[in-house]
Homo-oligomer: A and B are copies of this chain.
Amino acid sequence: MADKPNVLRQTDDDARLLARNLVRAARYVALAVIDPTSGFPLASRALMGTDIDGAPVLLTSALSAHTAALIRDGRASILAGEPGKGDPLAHPRISVECQARRITAQEPAHSHIRRRFLARHPKAALYVDFPDFSFFRLTPLQASLNGGFGKAYALTGQDLLITSPACDAVAAMEESAVDHMNSDHGEAAPLYATKLARAPQAAWTICGIDAEGLDLTADDQLVRVNFAEPLASADDLRSTLSALLNQAREI
């Protein structure tokens, strides 16, 4: 994507962490696809979630031009990371080139993709099952991270994915773990969000758990908290969440 090693910094763990957090904490992204009628690149906005391995997931309507484009040509990219105050180019953002694939309701992955997406975007329940709405999973191929002026990095698709062997097992227990934490340990989510992600006080709940961390929502906000280490086994989830809570309480 960027053939200019002289201006790129060496990708290190901090850059990978920033890149992953930008993608995983995005509620929506700018999506670039190839417009099938004009051949032009087309920029539009789409709601975003993530698959259990961190791959971006979009839910789109067949009435929008980007859906027709993605069905015809799965080459796409997303821009994640919204500017705050001040110069928009001083705020971190990431462009990720991806291969998009439609996930039909018949595929096994559909159920956890749908469940995770709705936990993150509850209002999408109104239209998620309409026949003209589809999920697309975007497998990252390469990415360009811009952490602010002079802080450019080239990343691989693998840099953005969770490769833990525990992914599938975590997906299988995610729904009950999220319900349990929100119902029986409701004090945990606000502590995770405010202490570990330094988010403002709000009605935080956990909306997703994967092998590298958890996603928390409150109203329009979404924040990400990472585990100190990726889970090697889903059996470690309970102790990891407990350790994270102790860590939050000590801050």
**A165-209, CB < 8 A from B:** none
* CA A31 to CA B146, docked complex, whole Å: 15
Is A27's beta carbon under 8 Å from chain B?
Answer: yes
Q: How does the 8 Å CB contact mask read for A30-44 relative to B, with 1 for contact and 0 for none?
A: 111111011111111
Residue A107 at the B interface, CB < 8 A?
no
Q: Which B residues are CB-close (under 8 A) to A219?
A: 85
Chain B contacts for A228, CB-based, 8 A: none
Contact surface of A with B, Cβ cutoff 8 Å: 1-4, 7, 27-35, 37-45, 47, 63-65, 68, 75-79, 82-83, 85-89, 93, 95, 97, 123, 141-142, 144, 152, 219-220
- What are 20 residue pairs bridging A and B, where the CB atoms are less than 8 Å apart in the complex? A1-B35, A1-B38, A1-B65, A2-B65, A28-B88, A30-B79, A32-B41, A32-B43, A33-B41, A35-B77, A38-B141, A40-B77, A40-B141, A41-B76, A42-B95, A43-B79, A44-B79, A45-B88, A63-B152, A65-B95
Q: Which residue of B lies closest to A123 (CB)?
A: B87
Contact of A42 among B32, B40, B65 (CB under 8 A): B32
Partner of A45, one of B2, B44, B83: B83
Q: Which listed residue (B30, B34, B65, B76) contacts A30, Cβ 8 A?
A: B30
Judge whether A37 and B95 touch: CB under 8 Å: no
Is B1 within 8 A of A144, CB to CB? no
Cα A86 to Cα B220 in complex, Å, equals 6
Cβ-defined contact, B7 with A65, below 8 A: no
Interface centre among A1, A75, A78, A85 (most CB of B within 10 A): A1
Which residue among A29, A97, A219 has the maximum number of chain B CB atoms within 10 Å of its CB? A97
Query: Among B7, B65, B83, which residue has its beta carbon within 8 angstroms of that of A144?
Result: B65
**Could you tell me the distance between the alpha carbons of A171 and B122 in the complex, rounded to whole angstroms?**
49
Is A97's CB under 8 angstroms from B38's CB?
Answer: yes
Q: How far is the CA of A47 from the CA of B220 in the complex (A)?
A: 26
Judging by beta carbons under 8 Å apart, are A31 and B43 in contact? yes
